[in-house]
Structure 1
Amino acid sequence: MNWQVIDYDWNHVRAFLATAKTGSLSAAARELRTSQPTIGRQIAALEQVLGVILFERGRRGLTVTAVGRQLLQHADAMATAAHWMSLTASGQSQDIAGEVSVTAVDFICSQVVVPVIRRLAVEAPALSIRMLSSNAIQDLARRDADIAIRHVRPDQPDLVARLVTTYHASFYAARSFLDRQGRPRTAEELKSIPVIGNDEPEPFIRIAAEHGISICEDQFRHPANSATLIWDLVRAGLGMAFLPDEFCRDMPDLERVFPDHAPFGFPVWLVTHRELQTSRRIRMVYDALAEELAARR
């Protein structure tokens, strides 16, 4: 197959990124220190050279199209690579110091944030990262954290959210549990499988129903308020749970309970305070987290 390389202007990609992130041409113009008509022309030029529509224009402003969201992930990766290339070439990464606090659910802290800390300990040894295990967006609103990893986009006007990737979740159980319990093939057989979750089973029941899987509240056992504990309970052979495919594929002791069912997709947002984007140390951690999260796709 012959692939055609499309030649485009990086400044046009920057205009696309800034507009998608800020939600308007005027805000993007302020961020890039240029004029609104210039941003509009750059986006139009990028749309023309790529042969796609990046934004839908409506009464409520601009909305990124489906193809635009796909391209946004690649544009984000390009921006991150350019940023790291600049820091590395100038030797500035060694000079970045201070503390950056990151909040995420405990499992994401261990699987994503810890590798980022290990990487930055070499690239920016004077930088310190403090982890906060939580899933409350109020952590950012109260200024308890600098950066948050969330599955819901916040609506606070002083926060900036970046859609990094989309993960997928399916029902998983330990292979040893399924060998002992049996692999359910019918709705009736499914009713005998315990479900591991938190104290609020309704969202899990609803998500399962949307994917043609019927479970009931009586099946829920051993509720835990920790994502890591839910994983531990599943791996201990105590039932099945909704777990992200992107992490389970590295765990051979786990098996998808319904391999023929389509997984449930959920977004991964990287959130910070608007004014903190200008901080070099926060930007470094922010970009490193985005790269690590996207690498799990």
Structure 2
Amino acid sequence: MNWRSVNFDWNRARAFLVTAEEGSLSAAAKALGISQPTLGRQVSALEEELSTVLFERGGRGLELTQNGLELLAYVRAMGEAASGLSLAATGRATSIEGEIAISASEITAAYILPPILHKLRNEYPGIRIDLVASNEASDLRRRAADIAIRNFRPTEPDLIARKVGQFSATLYATPEILTTLPSPFPEELREGRFIGFVSNNGAYMSALAERGIKLGEEHFVARTDSHLVHWQMTRAGIGIGVMPLELGDAEPRVEKVFEDILFGGDVWLVSHRELRMNLRVRTVFDFLAAELAECFRKAEN
């Protein structure tokens, strides 16, 4: 879309912004303290002015169209600029505050991020954190999160990424399980019992097979798609599980099955390119990049 020829009415832009953030006309009208019909007319007027549809009705309420998503980043920046102008005019210092949505895997969200987010909150007490703990990659282009931590580099041109470290993982088991395993490894691991995954166990088996550990489904005594549950079952002695070295080595109830590193790769901090215009997102992105890089450096030493 070409926004350069549009003379924005801020009331319409604000109506669009709050509707996008609240997800419904009724919630947005309540947040703005105006009637729903008035809000609806402002949003419709903006759509008419731009000659485009900004919202579609979905199963969970209003959903932004692609043009709506493009406009949202600009209007958010306008809102922050207006707030900054207001603070400057009244002689108050601009602060970093508001909501930030961060997406990370279950393991990262549970074991790595909490102390970092505690430090973030101490430095920026106005920040409110929505932590999305999921092993599925959040769709940053649809604004499912503001910032994501991923184990792969994104290829989409509208996303930006910064490498913050590397991860390494291998197999762990309790000493009781290890005493039942013959040597040498890894060929004889076929006699062990394993914990797998429900949705992608085939991919996990293929990855193990590439490293000389050829298993069938009969070798898996338990499966779960939750990496946290996978790890708890490993610690309980149900079977052999996989975990990053910095977490597995720190757990006294388990030991490495062998010293080889089976899995590894880079860790990336990712955000939508347009969100870098947002002071809050840019500040948190840079903070997380520095803290995660330090965290992974310590893990390597």
State the TM-score bracket (shorter-chain normalisation).
0.5 to 0.7
Contact 1:148 1:270 in 2 (8 A): yes
Is residue 94–residue 123 contact of structure 1 (8 Å, CA) maintained in 2?
A: no
- Is 1:280 matched up with 2:241? no
Paired position in structure 1 for 2:175? 175
Give distance in 1, aligned partners of 2:185 and 2:270: 41
Letter in 2 for 1:250: A
Relative to 1, partners in 2 of residues 1:262 and 1:108: Cα closer, same or farther, differing over 3 Å? Answer: closer
Runs of at least 5 residues in structure 2 that lack an aligned partner in the other structure: 1-92
- Separation (CA, whole Å) in 1 of partners of 2:124 and 2:286: 13
Give the TM-score normalised by the residue count of structure 1.
0.62
Q: How does 1:76-87 map to 2 (within 5 A)?
A: none
Give aligned-pair identity as a percent: 37
Determine whether 1:125 maps to 2:125. yes
- The offset of 1:117, in angstroms, is 1.6
> Higher Cα Rg: structure 1 or 2?
2
Kindly state the Cα deviation for residue 283 of structure 1 after the two structures are TM-superposed. 2.4
Could you say which residue in structure 1 is the equivalent of 2:227? 227
Q: Matched residues in 2 for 1:177 and 1:293: separation?
A: 34
The one-letter code matched in structure 2 to 1:276 is L
Distance in 1 of aligned mates of 2:187 and 2:117: 46
Matched, 1:135 2:135: yes
CA distance in 2, matches of 1:156, 1:176: 46
* Residues in 1 aligned to 2:94 and 2:262: alpha-carbon distance in whole angstroms: 42
Q: How does 1:245-284 map to 2 (within 5 A)?
A: 245-259=245-259, 261-284=260-283
Q: Deviations over 1:239-280 (max 9, x none)?
A: 112211122222222211022x34422221111000112323
Report how many residues are paired: 204
Q: After superposition, what is the alpha-carbon deviation per residue over 1:30-66, rounded to whole angstroms, capped at 9, x for unaligned? A: xxxxxxxxxxxxxxxxxxxxxxxxxxxxxxxxxxxxx
Which letter does structure 2 place at the counterpart of 1:144?
Answer: A
**Structure 1 residue runs of 4 or more that deviate by more than 6 Å after TM superposition:** none
- 2:173–2:255 contact (8 Å) kept in structure 1: yes
How far residue 184 of structure 1 moved from its aligned partner, in angstroms, is: 4.7
Q: Which SS does the other structure have where 1:222 is aligned?
A: strand
| Unpaired segments ≥5 residues, structure 1 | 1-92
- Quote how far apart the aligned CAs of 1:215 are: 2.5
CA RMSD of aligned residues (A): 2.4
Letter in 2 for 1:124: Y
For residues 183 and 231 of structure 1, the distance between their equivalents in structure 2, rounded to whole angstroms, comes to: 23
Q: Is the 8 A contact 2:181 2:189 kept in 1?
A: no
Counterpart contact for 1:211–1:262, Cα < 8 Å: no
Q: How many angstroms apart in 2 are the aligned matches of 1:129 and 1:217? A: 40
